[in-house]
Structure 1
Amino acid sequence: MLMAKKEKVKSTPFSDFFRYAKSAEKRKFFDRIAREAIKEQQQMLEKAEKMS
């Protein structure tokens, strides 16, 4: 069975970051994302507590 050639997809700045960034930079990125997510969750919990 012949396989069709996969179409090459252009890189994005996001994919380039994950491909070429140093692990310390990636760690900093994920730490920031985690802190922001925790902050949003805490705000949501506070809002829910005020509603009840």
Structure 2
Amino acid sequence: MFSLRPKPKKVASTPFSDFIRNASSAEKKKVYKVVLERATERQQRVLFQAATAK
């Protein structure tokens, strides 16, 4: 049986994909923690700006 969808082309590995594939659970948790903290800070800034813009 054949597929009507073409196979997706493989792309070169990126530093991010290498990290996700090769980092330990502890390393990933450290990175995720920083990313989530920064995202939360940005969201809080946006909400503050929206609240004070009125």
Fold similarity call, TM over 0.5? yes
- Counterpart of 1:49? 51
- Counterpart of 1:16? 18
Indicate the percent of aligned positions where both proteins have the same amino acid.
Answer: 44
- Counterpart of 2:30? 28
**Higher helix fraction: Structure 1 or Structure 2?**
1
- Counterpart of 2:41? 39
Against the structure 1 CA distance between its residues 45 and 2, is the aligned structure 2 distance closer, same or farther, given a 3 Å change threshold?
closer
Structure 2-normalised TM-score?
Answer: 0.76
Structure 1-normalised TM-score?
Answer: 0.78
For structure 1, the residue ranges without an aligned partner over 5 or more in a row are none
- How big is the alpha-carbon RMSD for the aligned residues of Structure 1 and Structure 2? 2.0
For structure 2, the residue ranges without an aligned partner over 5 or more in a row are none
